[in-house]
Structure 1
Amino acid sequence: MGENSLAIKLIAVDLDGTLLNSNNQISPETEKALRQASSQGILVVLATGRPLSGAMTFNRQLGLAGQKQYNIVFNGAVIQDLAGNVLMNQEMNYHDFSNLRRLQRLAKVNLHFETPECFWTCDRDLGANLAINAAVNNELVKVRKPEEITQDFTFNKVGFSVIKEEQEVDKLWQNIPEWAFAKYDIVRSFSSVIEVNLKDASKGNALIQLADRLKLDQQQVMVFGDQGNDISMFANPNFQKIAMGNAIEEIKQEADYVTADNDSEGIAKALKKFVL
């Protein structure tokens, strides 16, 4: 970690599989450690694929609120303060909507489009995965025919998800063409979900922008993560990078330190070791 770990000023924490245990809760020691860091003036920033509405419960639990606290949402497409103000917003447009509907034809999967206000889909049959995603994030799902989507439609993130058979997500993942990977940031965040953002929209890039805005050195930023949508944070050589024990191998290889898993107070253990 080096001497810079003494000067951590911002801790960026992924939600699912990192901050949250297998019961989708923040365990007591982790809450205590993050509250302690926050009380010492260290910014705790949730960095998630979810919209802000899906993170607010956990912000409240950690005592985070107001215009001086921030979340990175939609995998880095949007930075908002906790009063809801948008500091940075990267949007896809109607052309992208058409491109992504072309990709959907490669497999039998749900496709939904996420905005800060709601989720949109043109699918009539919604799998449990999409329904649960909307419920967890406290989001309305608007089902519309393709011809009802207007040319000025914009959105921040897209999810392809399993309807019934997970191998259909495998099929899509294996058949996504090169042009799509060249144009978009496409990650498999879970075995049942593929997430799409604009090419430069990533948690790692959003974190660089937030650090610049707050006039922090990148070496004062510590990150915690476990999945494909966290790789952009772990690709930055300047951040202090902590992989969860349950992280995918690619994250562990890029990490400065591998802590315990999300069911064993991994965040709390690492913070006690390096920060508190």
Structure 2
Amino acid sequence: MAIKMLALDLDGTLLTSQRVIDPETAKYLAQVAKTGVKVVLTSGRPLSGVMPFEEELGLSGRGNYAIVFNGAVIQALDGHEMMSQNLDYHDFQAMKRVARLADVNTTFETTHGFYTYDRHLGVQQMLDAVFTRNTLDVLEKEAFPQDFTFNKAGFTCQRESDEIEKMWQALPEWVFDRYNVVRSYHHVIEIGPQGTSKGLAVSILAANLGLSENEVAVFGDQGNDLSMFENPNFYKVAMGNAIEAIKAQADYVTTDHDDHGVLKAVKKLVE
């Protein structure tokens, strides 16, 4: 069956280590999209952090989509939300307890901006805001309103630190029972609404577009992509730089993100 939808992770997959789409890949994906194949960027980022790359691919408007916040939100590229799942003030209180497990920075991510109560901002925390074109507002813990909602909480540390590993080992079972928890990188943990994942969001979007899961190809490299690779119906492409858990479930392992990995795999699929 022909592939009619490409679900592409961004960081470590479509983006090179310089956080850009190489021009040859961008040009080819734009051509593929014009044939009617849905090119869907699937990321832990918010839409604001995805849109610059959508524009590079010539994608815009209500007829094109992105999966953001690790699957908690599906948005058309005009901002319209097909699906959105949120966490509330009770969850905010729970995230504060989780953050005390290690010396980490905590960011609460929403579709309209990032928030934190950290008085000493971490480098990774600030970079995440910059790279996703977001504001990062610092509030006192008591200033978060009772009606505060967010799509995802992110916990980060310096890349050379072991604090996220310490936190990962200390996470109590109730966190995994109550939330979607992913180790995106060795220095990043992301927590979102229970039952949300990139894999489920891809399935929901495909169904809404009238596509079979067998017509979907997914691309990824890290822990927050695992849910896409657990679906037996998707055609699964692992990057050469992917973690072993991703490669083990892949139908095809391409070259790494600095060696035209996405381009080579897409050509294999659509030509």
Q: What secondary structure sits across from 2:67 in the alignment?
A: strand
4+ long deviations beyond 3 Å: none
TM-score, normalised by the number of residues in structure 1: 0.96
Partner of 2:78: 83
Match among 202, 210, 223 for residue 215 of structure 1? 210
User: Are 1:108 and 1:163, in contact at CA under 8 Å, matched by a contact in 2?
Assistant: no
* Cα distance in 2, alignment partners of residues 162 and 133 from structure 1: 12
* Cα distance in 1, alignment partners of residues 111 and 161 from structure 2: 28
- Equivalent positions of 1:246-257 (< 5 A) are 246-257=241-252
* Cα distance in 2, alignment partners of residues 163 and 15 from structure 1: 21
Partner of 2:21: 26
Q: Gapped runs of 5+ residues in structure 1? A: none
Partner of 2:109: 114
CA spacing shift, 1:169–1:83, aligned 2, 3 Å: same
* Cα distance in 2, alignment partners of residues 28 and 61 from structure 1: 9
Q: Gapped runs of 5+ residues in structure 2? A: none
TM-score, normalised by the number of residues in structure 2: 0.98
- Work out the number of aligned pairs and report it: 271
Identity of aligned residues (%): 53
User: Are 1:234 and 1:255, in contact at CA under 8 Å, matched by a contact in 2?
Assistant: yes
* Cα distance in 2, alignment partners of residues 164 and 71 from structure 1: 28
Computed over aligned residues only, the root mean square deviation of the Cα atoms, in angstroms, reads 1.0
TM superposition shift of 1:274: 1.8
User: Are 1:93 and 1:152, in contact at CA under 8 Å, matched by a contact in 2?
Assistant: yes
Matched, 1:162 2:182: no
User: Are 2:88 and 2:150, in contact at CA under 8 Å, matched by a contact in 1?
Assistant: yes
State the one-letter code of the partner of 2:236.
Answer: K
User: Are 1:13 and 1:46, in contact at CA under 8 Å, matched by a contact in 2?
Assistant: yes
Q: What secondary structure sits across from 2:206 in the alignment?
A: helix
Match among 206, 210, 225 for residue 220 of structure 2? 225
TM superposition shift of 1:163: 5.1
1:186-221, Cα deviation, whole Å (9 max, x unpaired): 111111111111121111111111011111100001
User: Are 2:158 and 2:187, in contact at CA under 8 Å, matched by a contact in 1?
Assistant: no
Partner of 2:48: 53
TM superposition shift of 1:164: 7.8
Matched, 1:197 2:192: yes
Match among 99, 111, 117 for residue 104 of structure 1? 99
